[in-house]
Amino acid sequence: MDDHGLLRIRSKMPKWRKDTFVNFPILLHKHSKLTRLVIKDFHEKFSHAGVYSLLSEMRKKFWIPHYFSVVKRVIKECVICKRFKERTVKVNQSAYRDFRIDPPSIPFRYIFIDHFGPYNVKLNGKKSKVWVLCLTCLWSRSINLKICLDLTTKEFLRAFQMHSYQYGIPQLVLSDLGSQLVAGANVVTNFLGDPESQAYFEENGVKSIKFQQYPKGCNKLGGLVETCVKMSKRLIYGALRNNVLDFRDFEFFVEQTVHLVNRRPIAFKEGLRDSITDEVPDAITPEILIHGHELLSINIIPDLQGNPDEDLNWTADDHVSKVLDKYQKLRNVRSRLINIYNSEFIAHLVSQATDEKSRYKPVTHKRIQIGDIVLLKEPHMKPSNYPMGIVKKVKLNDLDEVTDIEVFKGASRETVRRHVTSVIPLLSPVTNDSEEKVDIKEDSSTHQRKKREAAVISEARTRDMLRN
């Protein structure tokens, strides 16, 4: 004890003198509020340094039992450090749900929808942009493409209605949080929510259509439709290139893309094999699942497919030359489409199904509650600029883990939906008024296992010695 009544620890430094206490660090209790304030002061003084840097500086003046764990626990509460070092929340549940594992055996009863584009076409003699609505069947893995003139709710409802004329009303429609998709889902739900429509569905044994939007931040939730969009875009962009087709020719080109994508192999038929022949069974395609057989499709337009062995005389007949010029651009696009499908598309089907590393490895889930302050992780944005918000609503999965949350953003004053894998926990309102109570609770959690017999005997002897 020094002249001021402070307890000090003898230092290991060689240049200490017995008559002074300069090189003797002050002893602090590990559960004291003063200790927490001293650590926070050093942490801010040295520009939010790490544990080892703080230990090297603080040991010159202070000594705390269990130094490393105490300093580490206090640093973890720093809000500024959390913004740069805290990880996003992880969940143990797979992205696959019941509707993906066991969908009804009816084509396009459960579907995914998404837009992609735009593409330049000639419409009424003017160059304009169009988009494509991709509808993916969860059971047959087939796709259906519908052209939209813009990304408005009206065009989405028109394309969705044309799809319903072909395959009927779906029962479950999954999509992202696109504005036109959410607005169109609300229009259809309100329109079919009257008692007459519900009675019609019950009489025909059909469930009412249900829309679900998966939150932003987890690309696994829409992985099926994204894969089909990727395949369609690969064929369309690779074949179209810089050509600007007429709108009618573009419709023809999109229909052929649907035909080719639906002929990709997704499984193999069960076949009997004997000891003599070892043949690979025939492939099952989405086209076979929808129609029951493989379609025999051939080209019936004479001028659409040219014969490379034929030497055509373009100036022999004006009428023939005009027809050939009209189909020349579409014929080039069609030939590139077939070449891409045969040379690249089929050969890279296996590489598109590569799995992730440690997919089924158990992870520690950090539970987010209503009222927590979180950071929304955005791509291509610095951690210092991540938007901050407060959690208003949470959604649990079968494992009692939070997967989907609604956050009220402080900067834009709007409510957004996010998946927890893109959310960084920052602050929680579930705290005690006294910091000392928090310390005692944290210290008691570290002694959950039963004490050793030798430790119990040692503590009893120490109490007896102090009592005597």
Q: For 163-212, what is each residue's pLDDT tens digit?
A: 999 998 899 999 999 889 999 999 999 998 888 888 888 888 778 889 99
Q: Is the pLDDT of residue 119 over 90?
A: yes
DSSP 337-397: HHHHIIIIITTTTTGGGPPPTTTT---------TT-EEEE--TT--GGG--EEEEEEEEE-
Minimum mean pLDDT among 21-30, 99-108, 341-350, 435-444: which range?
Answer: 435-444
Question: How much of the chain is helix, strand and coil, in % rounded to 5?
Answer: 40, 20, 45
Which tens digits make up the pLDDT trace of 15-46? 555 555 567 888 999 999 999 999 999 999 99
Which tens digits make up the pLDDT trace of 293-309? 888 777 777 666 655 44
Which tens digits make up the pLDDT trace of 257-268? 999 888 888 776
3-state secondary structure of 422: helix
Q: Report the C-alpha gap between 157 and 187 in whole angstroms.
A: 9
Amino acid at the residue 100: R
| Global model pTM greater than 0.75 | no
196-211 as b/e: b if 16+ CB within 10 A = eeeeebeeeeeeebeb
3-state secondary structure 125-147: CEEEEEEEEEEEECCCCCEEEEE
Domain 98-267+281-351: CATH architecture, name and number where available: 2-Layer Sandwich (3.30)
pLDDT of residue 437: 40
Written out in words, the top-level CATH class of the domain with range 360-430 is mainly beta
pLDDT of residue 188: 92
- Helix 51-58 with 33-45: angle, nearest 10 deg: 110
Q: Which residues make beta-bridge pairs with 388?
A: 375
Could you tell me the residue ranges of all domains in the chain? 26-77+432-467, 98-267+281-351, 360-430
pLDDT of residue 135: 94
pLDDT of residue 17: 55
Q: Report the C-alpha gap between 100 and 337 in whole angstroms.
A: 31
Q: Give the pLDDT band of residue 346 (cuts 50, 70, 90).
A: low
- Please give the distance of CA 351 from its chain centroid, rounded to a whole number: 20
The first and second tokens of residue 119, run together, are 């593409």
Q: Report the C-alpha gap between 391 and 416 in whole angstroms.
A: 10
3-state secondary structure of 109: coil
Between the alpha carbon of residue 207 and those of residues 97, 164, 329, 365, the distances in Å are 19, 15, 46, 36
Nearest Cα residue to 127 out of 246, 28, 30, 229 = 246
